[in-house]
Amino acid sequence: MSNKRIGVVIVSYGHEQDVANLVDTFADQLKTGDRVVVVDNRKPWVLKDAVGERLEKHGAEIINHDNGGFAAGCNVGAAHIVDDVDLLFFLNPDTVIDDPTLFNSLRRVDEQWAAFMPYLLLPDGTINSAGNALHISGLSWVTGLDEKPVEGSSEVTDISIASGACLAVRVDWWKRLGGMEGLYFMYHEDTDFSARLLLAGGRIGLLHSAYVTHHYDYAKGDYKWIYIERNRHVLLLSVLPLPLLFVLIPQILGVNLGLWAIAAKEKRVGLKVKSLRLLIRDLPAIFKLRRSTQELAELTPSQYLAKMEWRLDNPNLGNIGSNKIVATVYKTYYKLCMSILKLLA
């Protein structure tokens, strides 16, 4: 079905010119029935005054929203169009569409894929993300970084986590999951969405015949550090089936000890404490989220573990990721966990 109606959702937080430039790059690919919504997530709302005419000439609609985080902005934008389209397509404001056939490629993806993403490329043509890994520690990182995409392939292949910078989701699956989880506020919300979708039995794919260009600026601010650490634990506590969570506890504790040591070395212990306080404060909301998430579970604990990664090939881990002893320990531990879960089934 190549006539699927696409609903584009862009959340802006002070990215007025970037958003207008982005919409300019894909406006000629829109078809009758497609919708574009831009959520201005920053008060005072200036997006409409700054670039409203440029957006509206392409049929884009602007929604003003009190900032409740990226996930909340996505949910507000999606709610505005979800009943009128077949496919939601979330784009970061710092992306541009250089691929002249992107939208046609999105329309042709088979219904078996609940969510999918095109390659996310850096301006030099190398990969920014070919999907993200979901590690058994709760950490998540991009795969394929700095590599070249596979050319000439029209296939879609399974991935565990799709990047929220260019995420396509079928409307029925979006409704089934209830959208993104606002509890995350910032960072890891796309990881959580994919993790919950996998648990509910959905497939997530990488579309090899399409790409989005990402003008990515990696910042290491304090808030990013605090929320990534806090949200990693939110995901572990809310998404993992209980038997899987139990068998992974030893290595989760080990990783946490290592991260405390790194925080001490980098003089970030105060940030780690703030992250822990946020986590403890939100435990009632996390357990409420866990109940609703587990109600949708279709995969067994061992099936879900099979979707997770044991390798430490995170480019930010340096020598640890390439250490053969560490790799052997993690691989053995992973196999042991799998055996235990299958025995318990």
What is the C-alpha to C-alpha distance for residues 210 and 232, in angstroms, rounded to an integer?
Answer: 30
Nearest residue to 199 via CA among 281, 319, 308, 92? 308
- pLDDT tens digits for range 120-165: 999 999 999 999 998 888 788 888 888 999 877 779 999 999 999 9
- Number of domains composing the chain: 2
Domain shared by 150 and 21, yes or no: yes
Domain shared by 245 and 157, yes or no: no
Domain shared by 242 and 207, yes or no: no
Residue partners of 211: CB distance under 8 A and separation at least 6: 98, 99, 102, 118, 119, 120, 121, 149
Instruction: Indicate which CATH number applies to the domain containing 71.
Output: 3.90.550.60
Asked, for residue 219, whether it belongs to a domain, the answer is: no
**How many angstroms separate the Cα of 321 from the Cα of each of 164, 257, 329?**
25, 17, 12
Domain shared by 150 and 276, yes or no: no
Asked, for residue 44, whether it belongs to a domain, the answer is: yes
What mean pLDDT is predicted for residues 5-21?
A: 94
What does pTM read for this prediction?
0.93
Domain shared by 185 and 131, yes or no: yes
Asked, for residue 228, whether it belongs to a domain, the answer is: no
Domain boundary pick from 180, 214, 248: 214
Asked, for residue 306, whether it belongs to a domain, the answer is: yes
Domain shared by 38 and 175, yes or no: yes
Domain shared by 204 and 254, yes or no: no
Domain shared by 204 and 253, yes or no: no
Domain shared by 150 and 33, yes or no: yes
Tokens of 85: 């389209």
- pLDDT tens digits for range 223-281: 788 888 899 999 999 999 999 999 999 988 888 888 888 888 888 899 889 999 999 99
Domain shared by 36 and 182, yes or no: yes
**How many angstroms separate the Cα of 42 from the Cα of each of 81, 227, 308?**
21, 19, 35
Asked, for residue 168, whether it belongs to a domain, the answer is: yes
Domain shared by 207 and 252, yes or no: no
Domain of 310, in residue numbers: 238-344
Residue partners of 341: CB distance under 8 A and separation at least 6: 243, 244, 247, 300, 301, 302, 305
Say if residue 322's pLDDT is above 90: no
Beta strand pairing call for 115-121 and 132-134: unpaired
Domain shared by 59 and 119, yes or no: yes
